[in-house]
Amino acid sequence: MTEKQQRFHAAYPGSFFLTSEEPELLGEFLKNIGWISPDETITLIEKPGEGNMNYVLRVRTDRQSFIVKQSRPWVEKYPQLDAPIERIVVEAQFYDALSEVGELQDFIPALKGFRAEHFIMAVEDLGKASDFTNIYNKSVQISPTELTDLVGFISGLHQVSAAEIREPFPDNQELKELNAEHIFNYPYLEDNGFDLDSVQAGLQALAMTYKQDEALKKKIKSLGKIYLGKGDTLLQGDYYPGSWLRTAAGTKIIDPEFAYLGRAEFDMGVLVAHLKMAQTDDAVIEAGLIHYKRIGQNFDHGLFAGFCGAEILRRIIGLAQLPLDLSLEEKGYLLTWAAESVLNPQMNTFMKTDTSDISRSTTLRNHD
């Protein structure tokens, strides 16, 4: 037994530990819970791609192929970091909530099964796919069609009404608190023990400007409070290139474990932040955002700009680093832009004007 397995069994003695190391036990388990038939044969077990938080396998049999995902009480990539195991419930419930929303079905894998007692979920295999993290490379651009898909999905998601979600959606508070720490607090601690020069020489000194900017820190803190609060829009919660897949059947959205009922401005701020870090042309971003149809319905541009800036700042000076293809000067420029976006949101012109026809006539006002 590996150390991880022992740790898991000590905490959850009645739960199955998902691993590719014991294919016979896995086959037995899948038959017991009825996800495969008694006479079905497993022909392949493999890791379908790079993940962060969870343990994910592709299981192929003589009849079907599907993805099995288990959450554990830690971050799979960094097992020394604890993480709330209930996050798999959020993910399963997100897929379940959307299972009746026709126009979003094409963008997500179908939920095949969920066993809460084992913290295991099975979803449709979207086939060999790669996520969108290569768009951070200067030589790779997101295509306008892909951006249309991404904005179209999130626009549709944000229009799902609470009435369509059959069960009350989990508040996901514990995972949000973990996330909030890494977005709104940790990056701004002068002595957090993370040497940014180990990422890129000179980054630590560059970051110091922001770690010592009291006005910025105060605004970031207030954004954190809003993030931790509630809203009435179902969010994907982690809408960045690692959650987007390029598949043979087009653009797909996965990994909604950070989903919660919150403010639409959060998903949109994160989306635009990553497009900026991927050096997407402003004109391409603008053209993509036209497909966001919810704008005007109580969309707070200042809040959007705040979340957008905060996400850029934390990805450059925080712990959750990305494979960014940016020189120190380029990071410096982006950090300046991001801090401005937080402190002086009017300079961030994305999502600013109502682009949908109907929203021009709406009487709803933005509020701070």
Ligand X SMILES: Nc1ncnc2c1ncn2[C@@H]1O[C@H](COP(=O)(O)OP(=O)(O)O)[C@@H](O)[C@H]1O
Asked if 159 contacts 293 with a C-beta cutoff of 8 angstroms, the reply is yes
Task: Output 70 or 348, the one with its CB closest to ligand X.
Answer: 70
Q: Which residues contact 6 (CB under 8 A, 6 or more apart)?
A: none
Among candidates 296, 225, 293, 288, which has minimal Cα distance to 262?
Answer: 225
Stretch of 12-20, 208-216, 251-259, 269-277 lying at the interface with Mg ion (CB under 5 A): 251-259
- Report the alpha-carbon distance of residue 194 to residue 223 in Å, rounded: 23
Task: Output 129 or 284, the one with its CB closest to Mg ion.
Answer: 129
The CB-of-123 to ligand X minimum distance in angstroms stands at 5
282-311 positions binding Mg ion, by CB under 5 A:
none
Q: How far is CA 348 from the centre of its chain?
A: 22
DSSP per residue, 153-219: HHHHHHT--GGG-SSPPP--HHHHHHHHIIIIIGGG-TTSS--GGGTSTTHHHHHHHHHT-HHHHHH
Q: Which residues contact 297 (CB under 8 A, 6 or more apart)?
A: 359, 362, 364
The CB-of-122 to ligand X minimum distance in angstroms stands at 9
Sheet containing 55-61: give its strands across.
42-46, 55-61, 65-70, 120-124, 111-115
Candidates 91, 255, 257, 265; binder of Mg ion (CB under 5 A) is 255
The CB-of-50 to ligand X minimum distance in angstroms stands at 5
- Report the alpha-carbon distance of residue 146 to residue 148 in Å, rounded: 5
Task: Output 91 or 265, the one with its CB closest to ligand X.
Answer: 91
The CB-of-179 to ligand X minimum distance in angstroms stands at 13
The CB-of-266 to ligand X minimum distance in angstroms stands at 19
- Report the alpha-carbon distance of residue 20 to residue 288 in Å, rounded: 40
- Report the alpha-carbon distance of residue 265 to residue 227 in Å, rounded: 10
Stretch of 39-47, 83-91, 239-247, 265-273 lying at the interface with Mg ion (CB under 5 A): 239-247
Task: Output 127 or 229, the one with its CB closest to ligand X.
Answer: 127
Stretch of 25-33, 112-120, 250-258, 308-316 lying at the interface with Mg ion (CB under 5 A): 250-258
Q: Which residues contact 145 (CB under 8 A, 6 or more apart)?
A: none
Binding site for ligand X (CB under 6 A): 48-54, 56, 67, 69, 76, 109, 123-126, 129, 131, 254-255, 257
Task: Output 53 or 310, the one with its CB closest to Mg ion.
Answer: 53
Stretch of 222-230, 237-245, 298-306, 320-328 lying at the interface with Mg ion (CB under 5 A): 237-245
User: Shortest Cβ contact with Mg ion: which residue?
Assistant: 255
DSSP per residue, 36-101: S-TT--EEEEE--S--SSSEEEEEEESS-EEEEEE--SEETTEEEEE--TTHHHHHHHHHHHHTT-
The CB-of-76 to ligand X minimum distance in angstroms stands at 6
The CB-of-249 to ligand X minimum distance in angstroms stands at 10
The CB-of-252 to ligand X minimum distance in angstroms stands at 7
Task: Output 65 or 200, the one with its CB closest to ligand X.
Answer: 65
Task: Output 56 or 264, the one with its CB closest to ligand X.
Answer: 56
Interaction of residue 91 with Mg ion, rule CB under 5 A: no
Task: Output 255 or 265, the one with its CB closest to Mg ion.
Answer: 255
Among candidates 47, 294, 262, which has minimal Cα distance to 170?
Answer: 262
Which partner from the list ligand X, Mg ion, none does 149 bind, CB cut-off 5 to 8 Å by kind?
A: none
Which partner from the list ligand X, Mg ion, none does 54 bind, CB cut-off 5 to 8 Å by kind?
A: ligand X
- Report the alpha-carbon distance of residue 7 to residue 88 in Å, rounded: 18
Task: Output 91 or 255, the one with its CB closest to Mg ion.
Answer: 255
26-65 positions binding Mg ion, by CB under 5 A:
51
* Residue corresponding to tokens 């290569």: 134
Applying CB under 5 A, the residues found at the interface with Mg ion are: 51, 242, 255
